[in-house]
Every structure is written in C-alpha cells, then in structure tokens.
Amino acid sequence: MRISRLYVAMPLSLHKTIELDEDSAHYLRAVLRLKKAHIVTLFNGEGGEYQGQTVEVSRKRVLIELLSFSERSVESNLQVTLGLGISRGERMDFAVQKSVELGVAQITPLQTERCVVKLTAEKGQNKVRHWQKIAQHASEQSGRTLRPRVHDTEQLESWVNQQVGLKLFLDPFATQTLAQLQPEDSQITLLAGPEGGFSEPERDIAKQAGFIPVQLGQRILRTETAALAALTAVQLLWGDLGTKNV
C-alpha cells in the first residue's frame, strides 16, 4: 500500500507524538481516509523525513507517533530561483506545481507590464497563499524533503536587482543558448515572462541587472511551457536530471 506523505509546519523529533493542525488533520481524515495504526511519512522542510503511525484519528484531533527518521534527500545540487510573470488561473498553478516537481528552490511571482492579471494587495496575498499550498502538495507528491519558498509578489524592476548566480531570462528572439553558458557556484536565476512576454523597457531592465537573454529552440513557447522547459534543461545540463539514483 502506498504510504501518504504530509508536510507539517512544526518541529519534529523521534519518538514524539504530535497533533496535526486543523487543515492537515482534515486532509488525513477526510481526503486520505486514514484510520488508527496507519503508517504515514512526515517532513517539515528542514531536511529528512519521519515515518509515523496514527495513534488517534477522530473529529476532535489526529495524533501521530514518530517512529523513525531518515536523512533521505532528493534535492538537486543546483539552486534554481524562478521569477515568474503572473499568468492567468490554471496556467500559473500548473507552472508552480511542475516547477516544484522539477526541483526549483524558490519562486517569486512577478508583476510585469503585460501581465493580464492585476492583483490588489489583498488579492495578491490570497493568491500567494494559494500558490504556497500548491507548492506544498507538489513537495509531498514528489518526495521532496525541503519545501520550496513561494515569495510575495514583486515588481520586476526591484526583483531583478536582488538576484545572484547565473542570471538568465527567457527570450524567443535571443541568439545565445543554455549550452553556451556555465552556472556560478551551482546557482541559477531564471526569469520567465507572462503571457504577453516582456516589453522592451523590461528587457533593458533585465539586461542592465546582468540577466542574459537565452532561447529555448526555434519555437515560441507559452509562458508555462517556457519556464518548465528551462528548468528541465538546466537540471539536465548542470543538475540531477539524468543522474543515477544511488
């Protein structure tokens, strides 16, 4: 039987019995339909994971005893930061989910000139919480023991000046390719535009901040496709895609 994995935002230690928060308890009880004496895997994003057993599953609470700890990690040696122009609905959700599966370390949703979605402060906070939950579930599903951070939304101009490592922005009209480059200290920052792409002033801002325009083949890719294709490519070139499990 497949063992369910859960992220829990609390300290974990061997042989401790913990009580799940309301959201996690509801998910385990109502969605997974687990009962007493089921084995589950828990992680808190600090590395490693715990095998636990449910000792109480009731409407009042869900208690799990932590039985063993494993240092297991599936994290890439490559630290990838993704700045992602905000796109509509399921496109953005899909990009966040699959980026986590592909090993991204952190994601910042970016407000750009051609963003179709314009977020107020309150709506922006709600969206970020929604994307953080998507990242959490993607971490649980993909076996990651670290949960990538999804930051608050930022303006493109302020974000680009904070980045480090090999800084790349995805540009269908660029002449340089990823294979011609090399990351610095295994750190890469990727900048992917919204549905309408970057404006000329934004392209200039990115270049002035040290971002190198790169192309991903001869075809123009949709925003969510471009980000995921770039993540796959950098993991294959310099990360852990294609490496053997040991």
Q: Which domain holds residue 10?
A: 4-70
Q: Provide the CATH number for the domain around residue 48.
A: 2.40.240.20
228 occurs within a structural domain: yes
d(CA 65, CA 159): 42
CB within 8 A of 217, min separation 6: which ones?
none
Q: Which of 42, 70, 98 is the last residue of a domain?
A: 70
pLDDT confidence tier of residue 246, bands split at 50, 70 and 90: very low
Question: Does residue 220 have a pLDDT over 90?
Answer: no
Residue 86 sits in the same domain as residue 55: no
Contact 113, 193 (CB under 8 A): no
Q: Residue 244: pLDDT above 60?
A: no
**pLDDT score of 167:** 96
CATH code for the domain of 231: 3.40.1280.10
Indicate the number of domains in the chain: 2
| E strand segments, 44-117 | 49-57, 62-70, 79-85, 106-111
Give yes or no: residues 83 and 66 share one domain.
Answer: no
pLDDT at 204 over 50: yes
Percent of the chain with pLDDT over 70: 97
Question: How many Å separate Cα 180 from the centre of its chain?
Answer: 26
Same domain, yes or no: 171 and 86: yes
Per DSSP, the three-state class of 38 is coil
User: How far apart (Å, rounded) are the C-alpha atoms in residues 193 and 87?
Assistant: 9
* Same domain, residue pair 65 and 83: no
Token pair belonging to 20: 């799940």
Q: Is residue 244 situated within a structural domain? A: no
pLDDT band at 243 (very low <50, low <70, confident <90, very high): low
Q: Kindly state whether residue 60 falls inside one of the protein's structural domains.
A: yes
- What's the order of all strands across the beta sheet hosting 17-19? 4-7, 39-43, 49-57, 62-70, 17-19
Which of 36, 70, 104 corresponds to the end of one domain?
Answer: 70
Q: Is residue 243 part of a domain?
A: no
Last residue of a domain, one of 24, 39, 70: 70
Instruction: Provide the sign of the torsion angle of the four alpha carbons 10, 11, 13, 17, taken in this order.
Output: negative
pLDDT tens profile 113-161: 877 677 767 777 889 999 999 999 999 999 999 989 999 999 999 999 9
Task: Tell me the C-alpha distance between 220 and 215, whole Å.
Answer: 9
